[in-house]
Amino acid sequence: MPDRSHQRRRVSPVDFHTRLDEASAASGSGLCIGLDPDPARFPPTIGQRREAIATFCRAIVEATADLACAFKPQIAHFAAQRAEDQLEEVCAAIRDLAPHAVLILDAKRGDIGSTAEHYATEAFERYGAHAVTVNPYLGTDAALPLLERGGVIALCRTSNPGAGELQDRDLEGRPLYVAVAEMVAEQWSQHGQCALVVGATVPDQLSRVRSSAPALPVLIPGVGAQGGDLNASVLAGRSETAPGAAGVIVSSSRQVLYASDGPDFATAARAEAERMHRELTAALAS
């Protein structure tokens, strides 16, 4: 196996919020493009093979670089295809083709401290991410090794249909997801730079998170394929005191990646990203 240690980068943990501010200004909005590569959906011109993952993702990044505030590769899609080497390539391509953008590794990691150290190495050194998504269930001490080495985006209220089964239940006077928002705002933020994940499918919960954690940026997945409403999400999630474009990072994956299944997939992805960028800019200006 070749040594690619030269590709590894250590990212300063103080970079995340500043970088988000600069990326929002440079791109003109808080649009995040999620990279969930699925070879079965690649156009025949690229080839529906695992070997084409990096080529496909690179074409998407190239076509949308100026419009994107952030790129968010989803690691499971690479791991299922034995394509960690291609994920390294894609991360390098994001840093190269969109040097203004925030690189978010969507990994939803969470483990005890000694193991979290290794997840921090994976996210911030191996893949050179600026921020990583993290599961809050283990509490503050388990998040510390990640907080000390890069941006941490904690799952708060997720976008899946059954998310409320635990997250919406009452924990000592507030829903569990609000307790998580408070823990991240009050505890985690003392040790590093954070954000929260709240799905676009639940604007009411997003408003509630906004009241509990006004200074934290919110990453909002679930627009598009999952049915979330972009305008309602921006109205519920905006905060003038949070970093970035009014504190909202709105993420779309499948709707951009698979806008066309033909040879024009990159052009179609750009058109879809442009449409979302306009919609997002209008919502932010309203």
With CB under 8 A as the contact rule, the residue among 6, 40, 44, 82 that binds a copy of itself is 82
With CB under 8 A as the contact rule, the residue among 12, 45, 96, 113 that binds a copy of itself is 113
Query: Total residues contacting a copy of itself (rule CB under 8 A)?
Result: 56
Choosing from 41, 50, 100, 108, the catalytic residue is 108
Minimum Å distance from CB 181 to a copy of itself? Answer: 12
With CB under 8 A as the contact rule, the residue among 13, 27, 36, 69 that binds a copy of itself is 36
Q: Which residues pair with 131 in a beta bridge?
A: 104, 151
Minimum Å distance from CB 149 to a copy of itself? Answer: 12
**Is 72 an annotated catalytic residue?**
no
Contacts to a copy of itself from residues 155-194, by CB under 8 A: 155, 158-167, 169-172, 176, 179-180, 183, 187
Q: Which residues pair with 32 in a beta bridge?
A: 70, 251
Number of residues written out for the chain = 286
The answer to whether the beta carbons of residues 215 and 241 sit under 8 Å apart is yes
With CB under 8 A as the contact rule, the residue among 26, 138, 235, 271 that binds a copy of itself is 138
Binding to a copy of itself by CB under 8 A, coded x per residue (else -) over 44-63, reads -------x------------
Instruction: Please report whether residue 252 would count as binding a copy of itself according to CB under 8 A.
Output: no
What is the C-alpha to C-alpha distance for residues 47 and 59, in angstroms, rounded to an integer? 13
Instruction: Please report whether residue 115 would count as binding a copy of itself according to CB under 8 A.
Output: yes
What is the C-alpha to C-alpha distance for residues 19 and 37, in angstroms, rounded to an integer? 25
Minimum Å distance from CB 63 to a copy of itself? Answer: 23
Instruction: Please report whether residue 148 would count as binding a copy of itself according to CB under 8 A.
Output: no
Instruction: Please report whether residue 74 would count as binding a copy of itself according to CB under 8 A.
Output: yes
Q: Which residues pair with 31 in a beta bridge?
A: 250
Contacts to a copy of itself from residues 222-241, by CB under 8 A: 226
Instruction: Please report whether residue 209 would count as binding a copy of itself according to CB under 8 A.
Output: no
Q: Report the residue number, 121 or 207, with the smaller CB distance to a copy of itself.
A: 121
Minimum Å distance from CB 183 to a copy of itself? Answer: 7
Backbone angles phi, psi at 130, to 5 degrees: -90, -20
Give residues with Cβ within 8 angstroms of 44, minimum separation 6.
263
Contacts to a copy of itself from residues 2-21, by CB under 8 A: 4
**Catalytic residue IDs:** 108
Residues near a copy of itself (CB under 8 A): 1, 4, 36, 51, 74, 76-77, 79-80, 82, 84-85, 108-113, 115-119, 121-122, 125-126, 135-142, 155, 158-167, 169-172, 176, 179-180, 183, 187, 226
